[in-house]
Each structure stands twice: as structure tokens, then as C-alpha cells.
A and B are shown apart, each in its own frame.
Chain A
Amino acid sequence: MDELILKEQFVDETAMSRRAFLQGTGLLLGFALTGASTDSVFAAPASRVVENEVTGTFAPNGFIRINPTGAVTLIMPMAEMGQGVYTSLSMLLAEELEVKLDQIQVQHAPANDALYANQFLHIQTTGASSSVRAFSAPLRQAGAVGRNLLIAAAAERWNVDPATCRAKDGVVFDASGSKHLSYGELAKAAAKLPVPPAANVKLKDPKDFTLIGTRAKRIDSPIKVDGRALYGIDTQLPGMKVAAVAISPVLGGKAKTVDEKAALAVKGVRQVVNIDEAVAVVADHTGAAKKGIEAGAITWDDGPNGKVSSADIVKQLEEESKKPGAIARNDGDAETALAQAAQRLEAIYQVPFLAHAAMEPMNCTVHLQKDRCDIWVGTQAVALTQSLVAELTGLPKDAIKIHNHLIGGGFGRRLEADGTVLAVKIAKHVDGPVKVIWSREEDIQHDMYRPYYFDRLSAGLDAAGKPVAWTHRIAGSSIAARYFPIWFKDGLDFDAVEAAAGPYALPNIHVDYVRVEPAGVRTAFWRGVGPTHNVFVVESFMDELAHAAKQDPVAYRKELLGHNPRALAVLSLAAEKAGWGSPLPARQGRGISVQFAFGSYLSAVAEVEVAADGSVKVKRIVCAVDCGMYINPDTIEAQIQGGTLFGLTAALHGSITFKDGRVEQSNFDSYLPMRIDEVPMVETHLIKSAEAPGGVGEAPTAIVSAAVTNAIFAATGKRLRTLPVDTDSLKSSS
């Protein structure tokens, strides 16, 4: 255990005069209730307040705190943004620690790479659908270490062999079961025992699991149905001001004029901060701040990107994609096989820029002082945020306190710290804490977008229609080169090519990648990342091959998956459950897709109906999933339902476009979300598996687009190679 780090964490909370509030469910909301709100209707009653700064706390590792009063706190290394990770990670810990989920409270981890780095990403970052994959072993080990030490402390007290004792529901029992001590009673003694290496501790046999694999209740649900849940945007601090921002509508532009006098004349406005790239109006409340921004009538100098347009970006991608790129895969000799093929197909596929548009708009609260900087934000990237703020303020990293929060939708947006960086730049001009809130328009128009990809594919079929050659060139910007340099090597972006060529056995494959960085656009990871683009392209083109070979799309794929039993199993299950092959009325169709991504196998069948006016109704989506050993099947179903709709929303409606350097979409009336009256039922069929756990947060977003466009093809004969779906092209000619 790292004494210093633990102490630092507790001192931090004490110094900030904060108490951790144990709310009804046991979710410890950390930091946010201060000042006037403590006596409001939604603060926890005083009797339920848990003091965190107690001596004699048992803290065998970064994840477990048991204090002598019996409070069990689990520190969550990854961020909760809806994916249910606070529940799954708690289940992993609680299973081995032998406590019930309703006996624990959880706390957001502070920034600390040494304790909380995601071993999959080598940094304290929540992404790549890796939380369970990265933390399954470490958290089980951490829990087992805790259990062993508590048992050892009891055995020592009773002077018996620890092997004769057992632990259950936070209590250690002796062999007879007549003697027992609670974890709270044992905390002080256990804290004094030497901590064994985590890897040496014996884990529970999966057949003895009582939590892992069950539909345990989410620990964050109760506070999310009555308004108690606290997100970054809910931060309230004594003396805090609120700032609204206007960011240059063109990337790289600067504020030219601001009517500061008019802004300051608005009741409640305190200050105007002009940092060139943005103007902030600081006020007593957001209503006044927003009014101040309008009164400021800001004009902009657009700078070098004032002429950026989508048409030019696509032209640039089209040209660059004619050149060979960095080779991602080269099996056999695709060129020769293509030349000798009985039948050849070529196609160009394109997918648009996409905004994340999480429900909680970008926001960050900063209190910058001489020797420290406190940040209240919901972030997927705690470590990166801390580093960037240290750089920006010139303060040492350990003076930057990141108070993480529940996130009101991440989807990759909160992997980026640009919102925090902007807030710190503004806070440099403000005395006391300031909460910077972006409007929805700022959020959509200053997102960091899923890249526009331009793909060229070709394939050769033999006389029987079987594919003998497959080439795929991907052109688009590289997020990895900027964000995860370890994923970018010799011009090749591993994320941009992930899931290219699919799970199939093909004799000759050539995949290459051309990096193109259009000016005036910032790109970033977006739920489903590389596979969301590649699975659409690969599974659509595979459908084209099946059609050219005059074969059924499911049967055609099965022929190519004989080597891959898990992929074959999800494909067969999805087809069977969807009633593949049963007749449908005119203008209705089914489409299928299959993928291996994020360590999980998925297949989806979409059933669509295309009206005479071209509008598309997705009636049903059936998903089959093999994600290896799973923690909570209910969470997986929720992710399949939600992730599918996230991908479907983009496939049907999503597109960010540029004109005169500006994003043309601005709010939910021009960047359309799916609504309840539009969404299909999503059915999930989960395959029980003992394989290593795979991720499920992003996989369903990747699987769905091709299933839908393949279904549209089945319904109309129209092949869609560009997203979002162009309904004009689907109008009935009859």
C-alpha cells in the first residue's frame, strides 16, 4: 500500500472541508454537496454521513477502504458514464472481498496512474471498452487480498489456523461458526498485517461465485431517479461564479470585437474574459451569463480556416485515397488473385464526421489558486487532464486535484480535456471558483468529431462466387497519432484499421491506411471507434459479394467462417432468432452483419420497412453476443440496447458538415437524436462462455449500420455506400 497516496487523498478531502455523503443506495457522491445545498431536499440526512478520514482504516491496495466503523468503500478506477462500470467493477471486488453490494459505497478515484492505470491502455483512462477486460484480474486479486488479510486478522485474534475460517457478507467466522468478527472490528488489526503480493493470492473458483454473472442491481440507479446524482455540471461551491462561453466559430479564429459594456450591463454579470479563441461572460448564474454573451455581440476574425468546407474535405480525401498507404495487412497476393478472378467488384464507401452530443453539455469548474488548482469535472481521462492542467498552470502535477464525477454521457467526448483546458484559461482571469458551461450549440459546433473516412475496396470472386481477393484502403485522419502514439507506427493507425477484413478466412487480403488530416477540423474517438466505420464498410461489401455470387448473405458468410466457431455461433444464433429466410412483404427486408471487435463477437439482424417516400422504419434488431465470461448480463443487455441505438442514430441521421469553416449543425433540431417514437425493439441473445471477458460498450454501435443498410438493400435493391442513409435515394419509382 502506498501510505502517502492514501493520506494525500484523505487530507485533500479534509482540507476542502468536504464530507463524503453516503446516499440511499450506498453510492458515495464524493465532493459535491457543499454550502447551501447541504440542507436542501436532496442532500443525504446527517445520520448517513460517513466520515472518510478515520484512523485505523484498512487500505490494503488502491481499491479498498474499510474503516473501524465498518464502512466499506471501493475506489473506482474507471469513470461511470452510463455503461454500468461502477456496478461491474464493484461486483468484481465484492465477490472476492466477500461483501454484499448493499454493504459498500463507491468513490471516484483521484488521479493516480500508479494505482489506477488501465493496464490495457497504460494510463488512467476509461475507453476502448476495456474497463472489465483491464480490471477483471486486478480487482479480483485486490478483493482476495483484502479478504485474506481480514481472515488472517481474525485467525490471529482467535489463535486458530486462517484456513479454518471463512468470510461472508463482511463478517469472518471460525470453523464452528460460533465465533465471528465484522470487517469493521477487524480493520485496525488487518491494517497492520503485511500485504501479500496480489498475484500470489488464490482467487475464488467461478463455481462459487454469488455475484459475478448475476443480474445484480446497478448501484447508481436510485440516485439517478430522484435527482440526487451529481454530475460535473452540478458542482456548487461557496463563492462560485458561472461562465457562459462563445468559442470562435472557426477553428483558429479570434474574437475581433466584444461589446463588454453591454455584457456588463446585464443584471448578474460580473466580468467579461476575452482569451481570443473564446469569450467568457462570468455571472452569478447561467441565465445572466448567457444573456451577457448575447449582449456582447461578439464578432470574429476567422483566421486561416475561414474557407473550410465539407465538399473540399471530401475532395481532398478522394485524391489522397488514390495513393498507396501504410500496409495494415497483406496475406497472400491480393493483386494477382484479383487479376485472375472470374468476377471483380469495386466500391467506394464514405462515412461522415459525427458529434458525440452527450446529454450533459461540456462543462468544467476550476478553482485556481497560487499553489494548487482544483478541477471538478466528469472525465474519462483523469491522468491526461491532470497533466494538461499542470502544463497550463505551471504547477506540479500533485497540486492539480481532479475531482471526478458521474458523466452525463461520454461516448469518447470526455476522453478529451479541451473543455478543461479552456476552463483553466478562463479561470486564470477569475478570482475564486468558476464553472464554465457550454451551450448545446457550442457543444455540437466545437466537438472533436469522429473522422470522415473515405474507403476504396475491391474483391475478386472465383467461378463459384467465393472471394479469392480482398483489398481495402482506408483514408482519414488519425486520432491515435495524436492521442495514443503507441497505436500509431510507421504511418499506420491501428484503430483506423481495426476490424478491417472482418472475421473471415480469405486467402488474399491487402489492407492499407492513408493518413489525411483536413484543416479546420478536430477529430477524436467516438463510441465504437475504428470498428464503427470498418464493420459498416466490410459487412456492406461482403453483402455485395454475396449478391454478386447470387447467394444468401447468411449462407455466404457461414462458408467463410468455418475456422471461427465463435463468430459462426453468433451469426447462426442471430439469424435463427430473427427468423432469417421467412418471407416479408414488399419493401421490407432483413440484413445481417457480424464482427469481432473489443474482444467480443457480435452479430445483428435488422428488419426494416422502406416507405414509398423513402423513409426508413427499423422495426426490429436482433443481436447475438459472445463476450466471454460476463459480469452482469443485465448491464450487457442494456449496453446492447443502447449501443445499438447510438449506432443506428448515426446511420439514419448523423452528419456534421462544414461551410465557411463553420459547423452547420447546432442543436437537436439539426443534429437529430433518435426519439422514443422512432426506435425499434432490440433483442439480445447472450451466449454463455468461459472465454476471457470482452468489451460490450462499443461493440453494438459498430455492428448495427451494415445490418440496416443491408436490410434496406434487401427491401429495395438499393445499395447505400455512404452514411447517413439518404432517404431521397430510396423513393419508390412506382
Chain B
Amino acid sequence: MAFTLKINTTAHKVDVDGDTPLLWVLRDVLGMNGTKFGCGQALCGACTVHLDGQPVRSCQTPVDSVGDSAITTIEAIGRTPQGAALQKAWLELEVVQCGYCQSGQIMSAAALLKDTPQPTDDDIDAAMSGNVCRCGTYQRIRAAIKLAAGV
């Protein structure tokens, strides 16, 4: 089936089965590699993108469920104020190690700051506990979210 997806404000046409996860459309069909595959079961958050500003796990988002929603990926999150502030904080505090999960971490954090500009530790726990980091950068992720939020 043919679908027109609005990704980072650009329209992309793809022809895949409707139940194809958005993750593979982004990565394999459109060659947008920033969104990562981690578990395929919405258990790790590496594939997080925004649909109309809300964080979703693209590995469990069938392409036919997207409709007209605006898709934002890590490649464009820096164009939002939250995304830019988070990327800057991430660099300032040297959050990344292997970096593989960090696209998803930043996407979840950007959604958090959009809804909750001044998050508490509990807010951070709630918004970020779906994102796994095996390198163990959590301590710096927490600090960077607070730095970006100015709390």
C-alpha cells in the first residue's frame, strides 16, 4: 500500500504493507538511520519518535496508524527549543558513551520538557524509565535534563 508520511515537515511517499512498523520505514525504506532498533517490543525506547509531539515507540507503530500525524525524528528534534536545549546540555555534560540509545533518550526527554518544562525527579523517572541505556549514562541523563530545563 502507498502511504504519504509527513516526516520532519517533508512529505515522503512509501509503498509497504500497512502493518510495517514505522521504524523500518524510517530506517530501511527512507534511509533515516538516527532512529534506532533496540528490542522490537517497545521495551527499550531506542526507536522513540514523536507523532504530533507525543513520544511513541516506532517499532510498535504500524505505518497505517500514522495517518496525517506529523512525525518528528532525532534528525530534526534540534529544531525545537526543547530538543536544542537538550542536545546542548547533553554535550555540556558529556552524557553519551556508545550513543546507540541516545536518540531515543533525547526524544523522550524532549517530549517531557514540552509537557513539563520544570520536571521533578519523579517526572524524569516517569518519562524516562522506558528508555534503556546499557552503558549506564542515566546519572548524566538526569543531570542534563535538569540543566536543559534550568531546574
Binding site for B on A (CB under 8 A): 35-37, 40-42, 81-84, 217-218, 220-231, 233-234, 236, 242, 266-268, 284-288, 290-291, 357-361, 406-411, 437, 439-441, 634, 638, 641-646, 649, 667-669, 673-679, 681-682
Contact = CB atoms under 8 A, between A and B. Distances in A.
B100 A440 contact: no
B134 to A, nearest CB: 5
A287 B24 contact: yes
B56 interface: no
15 contacts: A82-B98, A221-B90, A221-B96, A228-B34, A230-B33, A231-B100, A267-B16, A359-B134, A411-B134, A641-B140, A642-B135, A668-B43, A673-B134, A674-B136, A679-B138
Nearest to B78: A226
Interface in B87-141: 87, 90-91, 94-103, 106, 124-126, 128-141
B57 interface: no
Contacts of B28: 242, 284-287
Contacts of B39: 440, 667-668
Nearest to B21: A287
A526 B50 CA distance: 35
Contact of A681 (B25, B130, B139): B139
Contact of A358 (B76, B134, B138): B134
Interface residues of B, number: 65
Contact of A225 (B27, B90, B128, B133): B90
Contacts of B69: none
A667 B138 contact: no
B13 to A, nearest CB: 14
A359 B31 contact: no
B38 interface: yes
Nearest to A410: B98
Given A287-B16, A359-B101, A669 B25 contact: no
Given A676-B129, A676-B131, A667 B96 contact: no
Given A268-B17, A638-B140, A676-B138, A669 B90 contact: no
Contacts of A81: 98
B33 A285 contact: no
A242 B31 CA distance: 13
Given A37-B31, A285-B28, A407 B73 contact: no
A211 B17 CA distance: 53
Nearest to B130: A675
Nearest to A231: B100
A361 B38 contact: yes
Nearest to A222: B91
Contacts of B34: 42, 226-228
B139 A226 contact: no
B106 A225 contact: yes
A643 B87 contact: no
B136 A679 contact: yes
Which interface residue of B37, B128, B135 has the most chain A CB atoms within 10 A?
A: B135
Contacts of A644: 136
Contacts of B91: 217, 221-222, 225
A40 B135 CA distance: 29
A interface SS class? loop
A291 B17 contact: yes
A266 B133 CA distance: 34
A40 B98 CA distance: 23
B97 A82 contact: yes
B99 A229 contact: yes
Given A217-B94, A675-B132, A226 B32 contact: no
Interface in B1-57: 8, 16-17, 19-21, 23-25, 27-29, 31-41, 43-44, 46
Contacts of A242: 28
A408 B97 CA distance: 9
Contacts of A360: 36, 38, 98, 100
A674 B131 CA distance: 10
Interface string B58-81: 000000000000000111111000
A359 B44 contact: yes
Contacts of A676: 124-125, 128-129, 131, 138, 141-142
Contacts of A675: 128-132, 138
A673 B90 CA distance: 22
Contacts of A358: 98, 100, 134
Contact of A285 (B20, B44, B128): B20
B98 A406 contact: yes
Given A226-B87, A646-B136, A408 B20 contact: no
Given A36-B31, A220-B96, A268-B17, 20 more contacts: A37-B31, A37-B33, A42-B32, A217-B94, A221-B95, A221-B99, A225-B87, A226-B78, A236-B31, A267-B17, A286-B27, A286-B37, A287-B24, A360-B36, A410-B98, A411-B134, A641-B139, A668-B43, A676-B141, A677-B125
A411 B97 CA distance: 12
A642 B24 contact: no
Nearest to A635: B94
Contacts of B40: 290, 439-441, 667
Nearest to A235: B33
Nearest to A234: B33
B91 to A, nearest CB: 5
Nearest to A360: B100
Contacts of B126: 677
A225 B44 CA distance: 17
A487 B20 CA distance: 48
A409 B138 contact: no
Contacts of B37: 233, 286, 361, 437
B38 A227 contact: no
A220 B90 CA distance: 12
Given A220-B99, A227-B74, A230-B33, A288 B20 contact: yes
B44 A643 contact: no
Contacts of B96: 82, 218, 220-221, 224-225
A10 B100 CA distance: 29
Contacts of B101: 359, 408
A634 B139 contact: no
A364 B131 CA distance: 25
A562 to B, nearest CB: 34
A77 B103 CA distance: 27
Contacts of A225: 86-87, 90-91, 95-96, 102, 106
A684 to B, nearest CB: 10
A285 B78 contact: no
Contacts of B77: 226
Nearest to B121: A677
A222 B97 CA distance: 12
B27 to A, nearest CB: 7
B132 A359 contact: yes
A224 B99 contact: yes
Given A285-B24, A359-B44, A679-B139, A409 B94 contact: no
A653 B63 CA distance: 35
Contacts of A645: 136, 138
A225 B91 CA distance: 8
A182 to B, nearest CB: 28
